[in-house]
A and B are shown apart, each in its own frame.
Chain A
Amino acid sequence: MLTYVIRRLISTIPVLVVVALFVFLLLHLGPGDPAAIIAGDFATPEHIAQIRAKLGLDRPLHVQFFEWAGRLVQGDLGVSIFSNVPVATLIHQRLEPTLTMTVTTILFAVAVAIPSGVIAAWRRGRLADRVVMVLAVTGFSLPVFVLGYVLIYLLSIKAGMFPVQGYVPLKEGVWACLRSLALPSMSLGLVLVALIARMTRASMVEVLNQDYIRTARAKGLAPSPILIIHALKNAGIPIVTTVGLAVAVLIGGVVVTESVFAIPGIGRLTVEAILQKDYPVIQGVILVFSFVYVLVNLLIDMSYGLFDPRIRYDG
């Protein structure tokens, strides 16, 4: 197991290097002088020169990369051009809303999607299956902000059940915090529900068609909930894999959802950075999100043994 973990960790290094190289080159791939782009349309030549010196853009490319990568390895993501605050600090300040929102969203999505997918597989071809599958395609097609605004309109403005916008930090009470995250999690979670429910259904249908399930049914075992739960464990690997890949969709959605619901998280930080052309912040956010995505999928790879003890990690 340990050698497998180490081998997998090593295998992610090239991916992370490519990500870092790409994020570094972003600034240099664009047309024109990056310092002039960052400075904006009305910048003076002195201002542009100042930015160029600050970002080290006046030195050779490879020198810039190795200095930048060297600092990156030590956890230094650079300094915001706009506020002069280290990017790592900025991200840390905005971490809580984003983290709580992603956790509630994943919990919501899994809690809705897996039972729906199981029911659809169990009743396949029947009405329940059709309903779940139609809802899944719809959920997959609804952009986050569309659902977000519809929910705000119906449940906040009309019914007054939830706050319209804003985020209540955890330390001001868990319940108030969860209430402020209810609508964002639902709007952000629907895409995940759709993805995970489809995969749960497909994987369950596959397992329910296996010989040992047929044998169990031939012996007179009804497709009881218990049987379904046993089958679910065997259908687990594609489902958790989908959850891992859906994290990418989730991260993209976070940026939009935080704008819709005025949540001061990393997504808002990204949007503010785009509008201010604050490139070190944009680079930092992309790096952090991509590393998290790679890490989550690494952990999911390693969890396969929990679902299927035949998967061993030696050899």
Chain B
Amino acid sequence: MSAALEPEVGAATAEEPATGSRAWRFVRRNPTIVVGGLILALVLGAALAAPLLAPIDPLEINVLVRLQGPSAEHPFGTDHLGRDIWSRTVHGGKVSLLVGASVAVISSALGLFIGLVAGYITIVDRIVMRIMDGLMSIPSILLAIALMALAGSSIGNVIFAITVSEVPRVTRLVRGIVLSVREEPFIEAAVASGTRTFWIIVRHILPMTVAPLIVQATYVSAAAIISEAYLSFLGAGTPPEVPSWGNVVAEGRDFFPIAPWLILVPSAFLAMTVLAVNMLGDGLRDTLDPRIARRM
């Protein structure tokens, strides 16, 4: 309004409120992305700054202060070996985030490649999808447990085991998109104008998979963080000498009635992180592609 009356002032000032309100509008429209992203940024920051935030060595054993409740020196108490729970929790976040991110990236890349090939080459499709159906019939935690029992505990093996159980879901998603996009008129036009298959896949089909793939990768990383915690909790995950949230909870089990903080503190961090990733996923899904159904 005032801009119309005073164009020389309006031109200068109208810019700022516009960008400000655009950012605010994004926050208002996508509260889940913002809240999820903020929590995740906090957890990531805490994990990266772990030596600063928790200067006590998470592996340092001090039997004199075993099973102590929260105090000034140990804000979340100590475990049965006198190790600092705050320290172990903050350092444990690194494992969860590393596993979550790695599994999401590797399984998306593998699933994308296999899905694109299967969607285009019928003979590959028949064989690959049979294998994927079989893999998907094995409940994913059991599949990961079996792989871990053989491979031995290490963070690399945890990432591998969880990736194997997540790849079929990504593959199925990508293949589904390829099969439906292939029938679109613009692909027919590209074929008719003589575009080579490789370029059709790269230029026209690949871009259609990006949005759903990002959403799926977010959910995959949430599932991977939970799987890592389960594997470590069951004694088939991250090696016991590395603090991870699942390990800390597993070690606190026997002392839970007298020292509940042993389990409640890492659990709270775990639940909050997974919740943040899932909120981010829901928000991205609603923004990027409302049609994707939530995966199982």
> Which residues from chain A sit less than 8 Å from chain B, CB to CB?
14-19, 21-23, 26-27, 29-31, 34, 37, 137-138, 140-146, 149-150, 152-153, 157, 164, 195, 198, 202, 242, 245-246, 248-249, 251-253, 255-256, 259-260, 270-271, 273-275, 277, 279, 282-283, 285-286, 289-290, 293-294
CA distance A31 to B149 in the complex (A): 12
Q: Contacts A152-B256, A255-B234, A271-B234; is A19 near B138 (CB within 8 Å)?
A: yes
Residues of B within 8 A of A22 (CB): 134-135, 138
> Which residues from chain B sit less than 8 Å from chain A, CB to CB?
130-131, 133-135, 137-143, 145-152, 222, 226, 229-230, 233-236, 249, 253, 256-257, 260, 263-264, 267-268, 270-271, 274-275, 277-279, 282, 293-294, 296
Residues of B within 8 A of A34 (CB): 150
A to B CB contacts below 8 Å, 5 in the list? A18-B131, A143-B274, A145-B229, A153-B264, A249-B296
Give the Cβ gap from A240 to chain B, nearest Cβ, in Å.
Answer: 14
Q: Among A152, A157, A253, A277, which residue has its beta carbon within 8 angstroms of that of B149?
A: A277
12 further interface pairs, Cβ-Cβ under 8 Å (given A141-B275, A279-B150): A18-B134, A34-B150, A37-B150, A141-B278, A146-B270, A252-B140, A252-B230, A255-B145, A273-B149, A274-B234, A282-B145, A285-B142
Give the Cβ gap from A238 to chain B, nearest Cβ, in Å.
Answer: 9
**Cβ–Cβ contact B282 & A290, under 8 A:** no
CA distance A71 to B126 in the complex (A): 28
Residues of A within 8 A of B279 (CB): 137
Residues of A within 8 A of B296 (CB): 195, 242, 245-246, 248-249
- The A/B interface has a contact count, at CB < 8 Å, of 151
**Cβ–Cβ contact A15 & B134, under 8 A:** yes
Q: Is the interface of B mostly helix, strand, loop or mixed?
A: helix
Most buried by B among A26, A143, A283, A285: A143
**Cβ–Cβ contact B141 & A255, under 8 A:** yes
CA distance A31 to B157 in the complex (A): 11
**Cβ–Cβ contact A153 & B234, under 8 A:** no
**Cβ–Cβ contact B130 & A18, under 8 A:** yes
**Cβ–Cβ contact B130 & A137, under 8 A:** no
**Cβ–Cβ contact B135 & A270, under 8 A:** no
Pairs A-B, 6 closest by C-beta atoms = A18-B134, A252-B141, A30-B150, A141-B275, A146-B267, A141-B274
Q: Among B139, B147, B235, B260, which residue has its beta carbon within 8 angstroms of that of A251?
A: B139
**Cβ–Cβ contact B249 & A26, under 8 A:** no
**Cβ–Cβ contact A150 & B264, under 8 A:** yes
